[in-house]
Amino acid sequence: MTRSAPIISVDAMGADHGPSIAVEGIGHILRRRPESQAKFLLHGDEAQIGPMLEQADALTRERTTLLHTDSEVRMTDKPSEAVRRSRGSSMWNSLVSVKNGEADVVVSAGNTGALMAISKVVLRMKKGVHRPAISASWPTPRGHTVVLDVGANVECGPSQLVEFAIMGEAFHRAVHGSSEPTVGLLNVGQEELKGNDTVRAADRLIRDAGIDFKYHGFVEGDDISLGITDVVVTDGFSGNIALKTAEGAVKLVGHWMRESFTSSLSAKIGAAFLSMGGLDHLRSKLDPRSINGGVLLGLNGMVVKSHGGTDSEGFATALGLGIDMAGSGFLTEIEANLARLIAAGEAQSQAAQ
Which stretches of the chain are assigned E, i.e. beta strand?
Answer: 7-11, 39-44, 64-68, 105-108, 133-140, 143-148, 182-186, 214-219, 231-233, 294-297, 302-305
pLDDT of residue 341: 66
Residues 185 and 271 in one domain: yes
pLDDT of residue 247: 76
Q: Which residues of the chain have pLDDT under 70?
A: 1-3, 257, 260-261, 265-288, 333, 336-337, 340-341, 344-353
Dihedral, CA of residue 325, residue 326, residue 330 and residue 332, to nearest 10 = 160
Residues 175 and 240 in one domain: yes
Biggest CA–CA distance in the chain, Å, is 76
Average pLDDT, the chain: 85
Residues 144 and 263 in one domain: yes
Residues 226 and 303 in one domain: no
Residues 279 and 145 in one domain: yes
pLDDT of residue 19: 95
pLDDT of residue 349: 62
Flag whether 27 is in a domain: yes
pLDDT of residue 320: 93
Which helix (H) or strand (E) element contains residue 351?
helix 335-352
- CA distance linking residue 73 with residue 218, whole number of Å: 39
pLDDT of residue 63: 96
On whether the pTM is more than 0.85, the answer is no
pLDDT of residue 246: 80
pLDDT of residue 118: 94
Query: SS3 for 132?
Result: coil
What pLDDT, in 10s, does the model give residues 284-339?
Answer: 555 667 778 888 988 999 999 998 889 999 999 999 999 988 877 777 767 766 77
What pLDDT, in 10s, does the model give residues 255-285?
Answer: 776 776 677 766 666 655 555 455 455 455 5
Residues 175 and 195 in one domain: yes
Any residues with CB less than 8 A from the CB of 221 and at least 6 apart, and which?
Answer: 186, 242
Residues 285 and 303 in one domain: no
Domain with 39 in it: 1-129+298-328
Bond before 149 cis per omega within 30 degrees? yes
- The answer to whether 131 touches 160, Cβ cutoff 8 Å, is yes
CATH number for the domain that contains residue 273? 3.40.718.10
pLDDT of residue 287: 62
Residues 25 and 160 in one domain: no
Sign of CA dihedral 64, 65, 70, 76: negative
Query: SS3 for 40?
Result: strand
